[in-house]
């Protein structure tokens, strides 16, 4: 146990403070494709790539046309030389066979799979809305598989590329009352690790990031809730982009590495014994319910509606 803690501590310190970042210069003339880019970690990661790494050729995929158009305009106005292609695609509802097959012929240097969804409540599987669990698997897992299916062959042909798949610490172990979401994230981690072995002999770098808590709509933490344990998206993205392609599996940031290191001092069975009743069914359920109410009230205020007491 102590050896595991020390190993994680050492890896975190070495990886974030002493390892030289990847040189992304060879990727600047190729396209960077990113899904789930209009909000949360995906948007922050995208902007960090553009602002600090000089990435300018972008293929952005999202389901909300208004947000995507706004993001595209913002990037062009803020960062000189941006060349942007966009595609509207809803990984939950649209037919995967209708995806933009331009991606197969496009010279893609970097692929960031960040599209994701999660239940907006803490509940057992039977009490979730019908179709939600299937949607989680489609958006979180199958979207990632399909994107790689389209883009990886070209990367292998050119013998150059970086793929980053976003997972989550929830995929570490099975967690009741969350079920499908951790399962989808665990599958992403397994899938990424397997691909890493299969293509280790090539110059295609495949990475899985599994952040802990970050203040996003998905985790139902507002940006003002960010603290030592819940990072804001910009702080997380700054560190995650700095280690792009350097480690096959990583939390993406030093603070999360430290949380993993000290959390490993507690065995999972003991962790689960206390975390399920007090964390998931206690703190998180109340927080999720409060967040949902806050969103409803905000939407009603925007529409001019008055909620009756």
Q: Which residues are catalytic?
A: 181
* Number of Cα atoms under 13 Å in the Cβ half of residue 119: 26
Are 47 and 74 in contact by the 8 Å Cβ rule? The answer is no
Q: Which of 67, 87, 280 is nearest to 177 (CA)?
A: 280
Q: Which residue has the tokens 């495949």?
A: 206
Q: Which residues contact 240 (CB under 8 A, 6 or more apart)?
A: 41, 45, 48, 209, 211, 252, 253
Are 187 and 134 in contact by the 8 Å Cβ rule? The answer is no
Instruction: Give the residues across from 208 on adjacent strands.
Output: 165, 249
179 three-class SS: coil
């Amino acid at each position: 146990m102590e050896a595991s803690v020390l190993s994680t501590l050492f890896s975190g310190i070495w990886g974030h403070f002493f390892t030289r970042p990847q040189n992304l210069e060879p990727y600047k003339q190729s396209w960077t494709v990113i899904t789930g880019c209009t909000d949360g970690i995906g948007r922050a990661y995208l902007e960090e790539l553009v602002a600090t790494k000089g990435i300018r050729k972008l293929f952005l995929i999202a389901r909300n046309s208004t947000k995507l158009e706004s993001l595209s305009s913002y990037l062009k106005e803020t960062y000189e030389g941006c060349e942007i292609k966009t595609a509207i695609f809803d990984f939950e509802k649209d037919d995967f066979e209708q995806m933009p097959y331009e991606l197969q012929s496009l010279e893609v240097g970097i692929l960031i799979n960040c599209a994701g969804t999660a239940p907006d409540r803490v509940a057992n599987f039977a009490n979730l809305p019908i179709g939600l669990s299937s949607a989680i698997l489609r958006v979180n897992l199958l979207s990632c598989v399909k994107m790689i299916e389209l883009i990886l062959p070209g990367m292998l042909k050119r013998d150059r590329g970086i793929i980053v798949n976003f997972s989550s610490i929830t995929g570490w172990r099975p967690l009741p009352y969350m079920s499908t979401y951790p399962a989808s994230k665990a599958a992403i981690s397994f899938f990424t690790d397997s691909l890493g072995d299969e293509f280790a002999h090539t110059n295609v770098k495949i990475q899985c990031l599994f952040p802990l808590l970050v203040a996003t709509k998905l985790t139902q933490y507002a940006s003002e809730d960010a603290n030592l344990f819940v990072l804001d998206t910009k702080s997380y993205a700054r560190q995650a982009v700095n280690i792009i392609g350097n480690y096959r599996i990583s939390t993406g940031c030093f603070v999360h590495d430290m949380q993993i290191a000290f959390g490993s001092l507690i065995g999972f069975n003991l962790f689960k014994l206390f975390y399920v009743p007090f964390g998931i069914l206690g703190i998180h359920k109340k927080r999720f319910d409060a967040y949902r109410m806050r969103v409803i009230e905000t939407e009603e205020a925007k529409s001019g509606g008055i909620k009756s007491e």
